[in-house]
Chain A
């Protein structure tokens, strides 16, 4: 059976979800649980780090679509980082780069969250 796992690390007020393995219709509920838990805890600044994700199908992409509105309504965002070319191509085919910020590294995404925080404080 294909393996999928996640782990969540908090850096300041940003939560980073590390995705590992195969994200399909069978494993998508595990990622949904992560988002639901973060939303419950009022954590709306989220980075999804794809560095160890081997595979994604539309069921996996659907998870990001399901929660983005609620998260943005609460002044948060889901930023995507460290995608392999293969995984990026699937996101690209479905028009995701228009709607999600995709960064090469986690640090760039963290910086972007921190920038918008300092703008907000001015």
Chain B
């Protein structure tokens, strides 16, 4: 992504759930400009919503004064959303892949967001530097027909 960047854009918001719609609108407009299909735009928007919801609830424990930085970059190959927060770090590897039927029986709700992100995007990476930042990087490849 360092070279051949066609586009870069950033949004910084406070960690409030009321900002989720602003975040979705931001992501949706950039994905639309990158010429994704309506279905792909919806999927990217949902994945980013899930990532930010997790940040608000878990990294900031619903404290509305935390910062969330969302950066969108894309070139001819892929569309990358980097979301950074400065709250509590967490290890996504410790969140098990949900066994969905059992999950419902046990009435667990958390963990579905990570599962959705991984299902809807081509790549999801977490980088956490405790005490400094947590970063989640969501990538969607462009299909050949879009290039």
Flag whether B69 is at the interface (Cβ < 8 A). Answer: no
Of A58, A66, A98, which contacts B112 at CB under 8 A? A58
Flag whether A90 is at the interface (Cβ < 8 A). Answer: yes
Asked if B24 contacts A86 (CB within 8 A), the reply is no
A69 to B50, CA, bound (A): 25
Asked if B109 contacts A58 (CB within 8 A), the reply is yes
Which residue of chain A is the closest to B52 with respect to CB atoms?
A25
Q: Could you tell me the distance in whole angstroms from the C-beta of B94 to the nearest C-beta in chain A?
A: 18
Of residues 12 through 33 on chain B, the ones whose CB sits less than 8 Å from some CB of chain A are: 16-18, 20-22, 24
Known: A1-B18, A98-B101. A25 touches B56 (CB 8 A): yes
Known: A86-B39, A94-B100, A95-B104. A26 touches B116 (CB 8 A): no
Q: Could you tell me the distance in whole angstroms from the C-beta of A26 to the nearest C-beta in chain B?
A: 4
Flag whether A99 is at the interface (Cβ < 8 A). Answer: yes
Known: A25-B53, A57-B50, A59-B53. A94 touches B21 (CB 8 A): no
Residues of B within 8 A of A94 (CB): 100, 112, 115-116
Asked if A57 contacts B49 (CB within 8 A), the reply is yes
Asked if A22 contacts B119 (CB within 8 A), the reply is no
Of residues 2 through 57 on chain A, the ones whose CB sits less than 8 Å from some CB of chain B are: 2, 22, 24-26, 55, 57
Which among A26, A57, A65 has the greatest number of chain B C-beta atoms within 10 A?
A: A57
Residues of A within 8 A of B53 (CB): 24-25, 57-59
Flag whether B66 is at the interface (Cβ < 8 A). Answer: no
Q: Render A58-70 as a binary contact track against B, CB cut-off 8 A, 1 for contact.
A: 1101100110010
Asked if B107 contacts A24 (CB within 8 A), the reply is no
A24 to B116, CA, bound (A): 14
A94 to B99, CA, bound (A): 10
Residues of A within 8 A of B116 (CB): 58, 90, 93-94
Measuring CB to CB, which residues of chain A are less than 8 angstroms from any residue of chain B?
A: 1-2, 22, 24-26, 55, 57-59, 61-62, 65-66, 69, 86, 90, 93-96, 98-99
Give 9 pairs: A residue, B residue, CB < 8 Å, sorted on A.
A2-B21, A22-B21, A26-B18, A26-B20, A26-B21, A57-B46, A94-B112, A95-B100, A95-B104
Identify 12 new A-B residue pairs, CB closer than 8 A, beyond the known A24-B20, A90-B46.
A1-B18, A1-B21, A25-B56, A57-B49, A58-B50, A65-B104, A66-B107, A94-B115, A95-B104, A98-B101, A98-B104, A99-B104
